[in-house]
Every structure is written in structure tokens, then in C-alpha cells.
Amino acid sequence: MCGLCGVLGAEDHWTDAAGTTRVFGDTGAGRTRRQERLHRVAIGNKILAHYGLKLSDWQGSAYILRNRTGRQEIVPHLAALWPMAETLARTPCDPLNPAVIAAMSRSG
């Protein structure tokens, strides 16, 4: 199956619920669903930079994960991010690695 067919047929993932009023209430904690999604991408990029990877949003329905050589993969939801990151980086990717946490703490 091609990546586009996989994305179009994918169901909503629980990680996408963070931007709904069911989670944040009527105020939305000041963020729209789109803003919340972009915030998750920004946090993900802080972690993924340690492994030479970059994450971007794709039309609010999936993510694109790229490595330094330009190879890219469609990631349907955040739960699929880490296995795909390990494939592209060709190394184990642990977001709880002390070196990653220290780098994130330094960058703010």
C-alpha cells in the first residue's frame, strides 16, 4: 500500500485528542487543534535533532520524518514515530536518554 492510501485510511489516534475541546474544555487552553499539533512537532524536533532527524506536519493528518540525507517517511501518528526514527537514524532513539534530556534542558 502506498503512503497516501495508508494516511487516508487511517483512524484518529489518541495522541490527536489533545487538541480537542474534550481535553482542554471550551477555552482550548489557548490553542487550536492545529496549534497543539505544531507544538508537538516542535517538541519532537528538539528530541529528534539529537539523532539528526526532523519532523514536520503534513496537512494535519500525518507527519513527515526526514533524515540528513533527505530520506523521508510518512508517520501516521506519534505512536509510530519512534520505530520509524530508529529506522531512519539507524540507531536506537530513546527520548528519555539523559543526553537528550540535558540537550533539551540547555535549549529551553
The top-scoring range by mean pLDDT among 28-32, 65-69, 98-102 is 65-69
* CA-wise closest residue to 101 among 40, 47, 49, 24: 47
Query: Which pLDDT score, from 0 to 100, does residue 65 have?
Result: 97
| Cα gap 51→54, rounded to integer Å | 9
Domain count for the chain: 1
Stretch 66-93: mean pLDDT: 93
In a domain, 52, yes or no: yes
In a domain, 37, yes or no: yes
Query: Which pLDDT score, from 0 to 100, does residue 21 have?
Result: 54
In a domain, 4, yes or no: no
In a domain, 81, yes or no: yes
Are the beta carbons of 52 and 89 closer than 8 angstroms?
Answer: yes
In a domain, 5, yes or no: no
Q: Which domain holds residue 75?
A: 15-107
User: pLDDT averaged over the chain?
Assistant: 80
pTM of the model: 0.72
In a domain, 34, yes or no: yes
In the chain, the amino acid numbered 22 is: R
Look up residue 73 and give its DSSP letter: E
Stretch 33-60: mean pLDDT: 91
Residues in Cβ contact with 100 at an 8 Å cutoff, skipping those fewer than 6 apart: 47, 50, 94
